[in-house]
Structure 1
Amino acid sequence: MRIRVVLAVLSVLAVLVTAGCASAVDGRAFAGRQVSAGLDPVFVRDNDGSDDDRLAAAVLRDLEGWWAGQFPTIAGGERFVPPRGYFSVDSARPGPPPPCTESTDEVEGNAFYCPRADVIAYDRAALIPVLREEFGDSAVVVVLAHEFGHAIQQRLEDVVTTSASLGSGAPTILSEGQADCYAGSFLRAVHEGQTPDLRTGDAGIDAAMSALITFRDPVGTDAADDRAHGNAFDRVASFQDGYSDGVGTCAQMTLQNRSFTQQAFATLSDAQSGGNLPLPDLLRAMGTDLDRFFGGLVRAQGGQWTPPTISQGGDGCGQGAVGLCDGAINADEGLDRIHDSIGDYASGTLLASRYALAALAALGRPTTGPEAGRSALCLAGAYTADVGAPGSDFSLSPGDLDEAVNLLRGNDDAATGTDGAVTDATAYARIADFRRGVDGGAQPCLELR
């Protein structure tokens, strides 16, 4: 976060970028439950018959079959035609390059869809095995499903279905978001057993989503950069919208109904600090801003508000790194570790969720039990969306929403009630509840059941 000087605008203009995967940034995720898959990769050019190629082949074949059923629903009844070819590339060895490239080096650690040749290529040496080791097999599914999404976009352009086609001049951050959305829809089908070769569970969905988080744009990337794919918050939002609502929602994405939060650093000093305040400064200043938001919320609901005190050196009250007990918020040394390893708004999100519990108590609502934790996390999202509003002491720095997402993908402290109970056992559920507050404000959080 940064002390507010100029009001920050969260929604930025989407800009033109090319298809293909972004480079990974710092942050190791967790491997999820393995996808059960394996298919003879004979239809994949230059494959070596390895387990990596067999997994990729299963993904591509299931994508073909699934899109055969889905495509007509968004393309005015037009029949789906699969891509013309798939190419497995060993970037570690010289060899014939796939279409649209001049050497195998250009594919190193990547996968791409080439509209000109209508092919998908992937690196079996430095992409597929790395994804499997870092995240699990479901990461391979989401990456190839994303590239397949670009093939779907090309087909929609070709059949001129104006209601679903982005058009050739669409900003690419929108194109990339739509491809993430299509990938989320396909992962839902895999999770629910609707594909013949692929299966995964909740942990696999979390791991697929975590791969997208890790392959976000570097913090501070300008939305006008023609290689931008989106920050972690935007990528996860698109994935979750596809997962929950299906391909019809993805096909209707436009700049009029889609906001992107990615932004560049506003100042050199902000870039040098990564937008992070030291923890003592954050706690002092953020307490005032949290009082502004949650006090206003409680009074608007007819309640009486007494802001909780904040202290360090406590035990977290059994709620993780930060806890609310006896009207006070106590933080243990775990908050310092979270702040230092993830960033200031990871610790800020935890703090906001405990203020949210104080607001629930002031309104006479339960603060124990799993639903209280969900409401608290949602209200932390509502506060986040309000940062930078008139009267706020802060504006969000470019990496703040990503820091919140990175906290929630591996930590459930912000989703606990005062008794330590938590419902949101998956990263998917935690981020979804946080997003509910960001997108809808406080009221949906107060209506959670």
Structure 2
Amino acid sequence: MLRASARLALLTTVLVATTSCAHVVPGRPVAGEGVTRGTVDPGFIRGTDGGPIDQLAATAITDINTYWEDAFPDTFGKPWQELEGGIYSVDTADPSAKPPPCTEQASDVEGNAFYCPSADAIAWDRAALLPVLQDRFGDAAVVIVLAHEWGHAVQNRMGITPEAERREPRRFPTILTEAMADCFAGAFVKWVNDGESEHLEIGSEVLDPALGALVTFRDPVGTSQTDRSAHGNAFDRVSAFQDGYQQGSKFCAGMTVDNRVFTQQAFTNADDRDRGGNLPFDEILTAVTQDLDLYYKGLVQGAGKQWTTPRTTPTEQEPDCSGDQGPVAFCPADDSVEVEVEEDLPELHARIGDYATGVLLASRYGLAAMDAVGAEVEGASAATSALCLAGAYTREVFIRQEGFGLSPGDLDEAVQVLLAYDYAARDAAGGSALEPGFKRVEVFRGGVLEGSGACGLS
């Protein structure tokens, strides 16, 4: 924060053809459960070894294609055209493996999955990508990645071809086409979640860890959204997926540079870049609490009520003043905010980044503001409003031109902490937490996009 951010990268993005591709680097596995009701014979996949990972891929592809057989005519008013160039599974660990289209040798596919528009084909690394995704994030991550690549095939049929992108780069920047593919993947997953898929079932228990793949496929922190290879930060990518999930393929197809807002930013000063965007833990606590006080004072006074600055109390153990709210708690009895400064919160700060701390504090100050205006601070609606207000505060510091504001990567840190923990979505009694993480990100995003008016503070 204060133009600061942190990066927890398991995979880094590498551009191949028109798609997002990844290489594996060390990280913490967060695998989900299986998603198949029965697997499909992968014999139609070129180069397959018939093994479990290609069985999962074949199952996913079969249902993805079925989805577009129905959705494409409904969305675009013309029939779906099957891929002409085929599907390729590449064993990049085998030096004798045949290369797929758009490559010169099999090793070119290492760590990647991509759509090749010139051949109308899809290929993936079955040795060093899909198994890694499956191990870290569960079967659903493999499905989402393949659905994303299929989204590029959909774009090709829409006329968003490499030639069109070169001819009109401002109309079809990479960050937009990647967001559209994420959106198409979300629309497909909703179709599966609705029970329409013959072979797949993806519920909330597997969706949260699977979205970790989108988080780790983000651009390196500090990449400008105008970069010709920009794919989007985690907030933009998860947002696009959620838009597809909630609004369907027609919405995705209508995305343009004029109606899509991206939050990805480049670093604006050398000091922030040199420290990786992160303020030390003690500094972020001081800076963000002072800023939260000013922000919520304005909201409360704007509602015609009086704001009293909460007393911030550091503790060595998890706060217990009012139920189990996690490492940061709002205490209604004395209008204070207790902050655990020895273990859990510093660990989140170190592992995810400084705005993980910022989001938790913003949601607890949100409860303080709700209490100040006489709103309920316990129950499901209170938990939802507190999280939404954290998003509204984030919007405020994101759009500032001077002073205390967000750094590249801070919104990604918010997504990470919300997917992994429910702390920011607990009420003042430590209960009524919003589940799953997918829903927490949705509510937070509502505050970011619409401001405090969406949060029910009155």
2:82 equivalent in structure 1: 82
After TM superposition, the structure 1 = structure 2 runs for residues 6-405 of structure 1, keeping only pairs within 5 Å, are 18-23=18-23, 27-28=27-28, 30-36=30-36, 37-75=38-76, 77-84=77-84, 85-94=86-95, 95-157=97-159, 170-313=172-315, 315-317=318-320, 318-325=324-331, 326-332=334-340, 333=342, 334-387=344-397, 393-405=403-415
1:410 equivalent in structure 2: 420
Deviation string 1:242-281 (CA, Å, 9 cap, x unpaired) is 0011001101111111111111111222112111111221
Deviation string 1:166-201 (CA, Å, 9 cap, x unpaired) is 999510100000000000111111122211111122
**C-alpha contact (below 8 Å) 1:22/1:216 kept by paired residues:** no
Structure 2, gaps ≥5 residues long: 5-15
Q: How many residues end up aligned between the 2 structures? A: 431
SS in 1 for 2:19: coil
CA offset at residue 393 of structure 1? 4.0
The verdict on how the C-alpha distance between 1:128 and 1:359 changes in structure 2, with shifts beyond 3 A counting, is same
Cα distance in 2 for residues equivalent to 1:248 and 1:155 = 14
The verdict on how the C-alpha distance between 1:98 and 1:208 changes in structure 2, with shifts beyond 3 A counting, is same
CA offset at residue 234 of structure 1? 0.5
Cα distance in 1 for residues equivalent to 2:17 and 2:81 = 25
Cα distance in 2 for residues equivalent to 1:2 and 1:426 = 30
CA offset at residue 26 of structure 1? 6.5
Structure 1, gaps ≥5 residues long: 5-15
Query: Structure 1 counterpart of 2:445, which letter?
Result: R
Which of 143-152 and 306-315 deviates more?
A: 306-315
Q: 1:2 aligned to 2:2? A: yes
Once the two structures are aligned, what percentage of the paired residues are identical?
A: 48
**C-alpha contact (below 8 Å) 2:219/2:233 kept by paired residues:** yes
SS in 1 for 2:63: helix
The verdict on how the C-alpha distance between 1:169 and 1:17 changes in structure 2, with shifts beyond 3 A counting, is farther
Which of 215-224 and 396-405 deviates more?
A: 215-224
Cα distance in 1 for residues equivalent to 2:148 and 2:214 = 10
CA offset at residue 33 of structure 1? 2.4
CA offset at residue 312 of structure 1? 1.2
**C-alpha contact (below 8 Å) 2:17/2:115 kept by paired residues:** no
The verdict on how the C-alpha distance between 1:24 and 1:224 changes in structure 2, with shifts beyond 3 A counting, is farther
Question: What value does the CA root-mean-square deviation take over the aligned residues?
Answer: 2.2
Cα distance in 2 for residues equivalent to 1:79 and 1:391 = 48
Cα distance in 1 for residues equivalent to 2:398 and 2:58 = 47
**C-alpha contact (below 8 Å) 2:21/2:111 kept by paired residues:** no
SS in 1 for 2:62: helix
CA offset at residue 96 of structure 1? 1.2
After TM superposition, the structure 1 = structure 2 runs for residues 422-441 of structure 1, keeping only pairs within 5 Å, are 422-441=432-451
CA offset at residue 388 of structure 1? 5.3
Cα distance in 2 for residues equivalent to 1:3 and 1:238 = 24
1:8 equivalent in structure 2: none
The verdict on how the C-alpha distance between 1:3 and 1:115 changes in structure 2, with shifts beyond 3 A counting, is closer
Which of 270-279 and 143-152 deviates more?
A: 270-279
